[in-house]
Amino acid sequence: MKETGYGTASGKIILMGEHAVVYGEPAIAFPFSGTNITAAIYPSTANTLDCLFYRGALDKAPASLKSVKALIHRFIKDFQIQRSFQLKIDSTIPAERGMGSSAAVAVAITRAFFDWLEIDATQKEILTYVEHAEKIAHANPSGIDAAAISGTSAILYQKGLALKPFDAKIDAFLVVADTGIKGQTRQAVKDVARLFEQDPKNVASLIEKIGQLTLTAQQALLENNPLVLGECMDQSQTALKALGVSHPALDDLIAEAKNAGALGAKLTGGGRGGCMIALAENHAAGKAIQQKLSDSGARAVWMQGLGVYANV
Ligand code: MEV
């Protein structure tokens, strides 16, 4: 065991397929380099936690940190950790905005523990721990957040199937904007389930439609077809809105992005607030959309290259 352990994780973006993925449809996601989180473990006289929401004894941490607490206790138990430590978490991922902050916290902490224990863990081993924490945080997560954040490339994710990482070849940029409104993923997932019970035929067809659009979008990513990808994003937003998971603030930013020339725009993640994404055909178009979204009141706006520009 080393003196200190260190782990990082980025946020995630769901490009296509949120909510439908809970019902077994495919979804596309990738790590989002605009935001990140670090977890560091230092020797201490007692087990303590130091993060934005709480600083103090691990066992007295508030209920909002119960998944973090459970994850740490699982490491203590599984690896019979006797040494006391301080776990420090620093994050630029906005909480509850559809960027997977809870999964990212879990990935960063898991990596920090494995680093501290000097274990070279595989993504599968990391996921076992992250999924344990995510089940406590979200009740019925599809697992896409954990899978996207613990990897390094775009993935096609389908519940119960092996992860399918792929290289997006698309020559385009993604603008990501935060409405500043806390999303309610847990509630949104529950409400879609209720709607499914009330109107099974209609909801099943919306979910299926999102799944088909996701597969078309993946093809567009592989064949460098931004126009088709943009159209898939627009149609997916229409379906997500019909499922009741959009929000007026998301709708406004989506409309502004489209007016500013976006090829497509939609919410990302759980919805009901949180973040939206817009597809830009090149860097200059992305900058113009970014400016428009900032002027329209977005709390924060980022731009990330897709495919061929992934690291721009
Ligand atoms: C949340 O980032 C994505 C949802 O599809 C929920 C899930 O997959 O667990 C809304």
> pLDDT by residue (tens digit) across 28-79?
999 888 889 999 999 999 999 999 989 999 999 999 899 999 999 999 999 9
Q: How far is the CA of 185 from the centre of ligand 1 (A)?
A: 7
The string of pLDDT tens digits covering residues 104-138 is 999 999 999 999 999 999 989 999 999 999 988 87
Give the atom of ligand 1 at the shortest distance from the alpha carbon of 138: 9
Q: Which of 145, 267, 276 for a ligand 1 pocket mutation test, highest count of atoms within 8 Å of Cβ?
A: 145
Nearest alpha-carbon partner for 41 in 139, 109, 120: 109
**pLDDT at 253 (0 to 100):** 98
The string of pLDDT tens digits covering residues 135-172 is 888 767 899 999 999 888 899 999 999 888 998 889 99
Give the atom of ligand 1 at the shortest distance from the alpha carbon of 22: 8
Give the atom of ligand 1 at the shortest distance from the alpha carbon of 144: 8
Q: What percent of the chain has pLDDT over 70?
A: 98
Q: Which of 19, 156, 243 for a ligand 1 pocket mutation test, highest count of atoms within 8 Å of Cβ?
A: 19
Average pLDDT of the chain, as a whole number: 94
Taking residues 183-203, what's their average pLDDT?
Answer: 94
Q: CB–CB of 239/209 below 8 Å?
A: yes
Give the atom of ligand 1 at the shortest distance from the alpha carbon of 270: 10
Give CA–CA dist 284/30, Å, rounded. 23
Taking residues 80-92, what's their average pLDDT?
Answer: 96
DSSP 26-49: -EEEEEEEEEEEEEEEEE-SS-EE
Q: How far is the CA of 144 from the centre of ligand 1 (A)?
A: 7
Non-local (6+) Cβ contacts of 287 within 8 A are 303
Closest residue by Cα to atom 10, ligand 1, is 270
For the entire predicted model, the pTM comes to 0.90
Give the atom of ligand 1 at the shortest distance from the alpha carbon of 269: 2
Q: How far is the CA of 95 from the centre of ligand 1 (A)?
A: 14
Q: How far is the CA of 138 from the centre of ligand 1 (A)?
A: 9
Give the atom of ligand 1 at the shortest distance from the alpha carbon of 12: 2
**pLDDT at 312 (0 to 100):** 44
Q: How far is the CA of 82 from the centre of ligand 1 (A)?
A: 36
**pLDDT at 54 (0 to 100):** 95
Whether 310 shows a pLDDT value over 80: the answer reads no
Q: List residues near ligand 1 (CB under 6 A).
A: 14, 18-19, 21-22, 98, 100, 138, 141-142, 144-145, 185, 189, 269-270
Exposed e or buried b per residue across 80-106, where buried means at least 16 C-beta atoms within 10 angstroms of its C-beta? ebeeebbbbbebebbebbbbbbbbbbb
Q: Long-range pairs for 250-258 at CB < 8 Å and ≥24 separation? A: 250/179, 250/274, 250/276, 252/296, 253/177, 253/179, 253/293, 253/296, 253/298, 254/278, 256/292, 256/293, 256/296, 257/175, 257/177, 257/289, 257/292, 257/293, 258/234
Q: What percent of the chain has pLDDT over 90?
A: 83
Give the atom of ligand 1 at the shortest distance from the alpha carbon of 145: 2
φ/ψ bin of 78: left (φ > 0), alpha (ψ from -120 to 50), beta (otherwise): alpha
Task: Tell me which of 195 and 153 has the higher pLDDT.
Answer: 195
| Owner of token pair 């941490």 | 61
Whether 309 shows a pLDDT value over 60: the answer reads no
Q: CB–CB of 269/237 below 8 Å?
A: no
Nearest alpha-carbon partner for 217 in 284, 160, 172, 162: 172
Q: Which amino acid is at 208?
A: E
Whether 271 shows a pLDDT value over 50: the answer reads yes
Q: How far is the CA of 188 from the centre of ligand 1 (A)?
A: 9
pLDDT band at 308 (very low <50, low <70, confident <90, very high): low
Closest residue by Cα to atom 2, ligand 1, is 269
